[in-house]
Amino acid sequence: QVQLVESGGGLVQAGGSLRLSCAASGRTFSSYIMGWFRQAPGKEREFVAAISWSGTRTYYADSVKGRFTISRDNTKNTVYLQMNQLKPDDTAVYYCAAGETAWDIVKIATYQYDYWGQGTQVTVSS
């Protein structure tokens, strides 16, 4: 069992930055793929970014590529999402997720993740 707690959300103006954090507790954090997803009102939850358990592999949705950076610190059991050049379309609840794996890969589908945080709200004003 893994417990995930997100933090760092808030209200920011377009063009601004935020850094989300996701602290994990429970089983060995370094053996999990970690991902960030988001869900805007009236929309389905969508993939944002993922990072392999070693941190050497990352993958981004086209909508955030070049603006967002995912990273992890396995010594602190924490994954981060640095969000720059934020746009109003980035407004959503952001969720951290952990997926069990035997390989150092990334995953992008919600069903591939086993544990989820409660989410943190990000609001970008125009």
Cβ proximity of 71 and 51 under 8 Å: yes
36-85 pLDDT, tens digit per residue, is 999 999 999 999 999 999 999 999 999 999 999 999 999 999 999 999 99
User: Which residues neighbour 59 within 8 Å (Cβ) at sequence distance 6 or greater?
Assistant: 49, 50, 106, 108
Q: What is the pLDDT of residue 29?
A: 81
Average of per-residue pLDDT values in the chain: 95
Question: Does the structure show a pLDDT above 90 at 9?
Answer: yes
Asked which of 9-18, 35-44, 57-66, 99-108 is least confident by mean pLDDT, the reply is 99-108
Strands 92-100 and 68-73: unpaired
Measured in whole angstroms, the distance separating CA 40 from the mean position of its chain's CA atoms is 14
Question: Does the structure show a pLDDT above 80 at 26?
Answer: no
- Tokens linked to 4: 């995930």
Question: Does the structure show a pLDDT above 90 at 103?
Answer: no
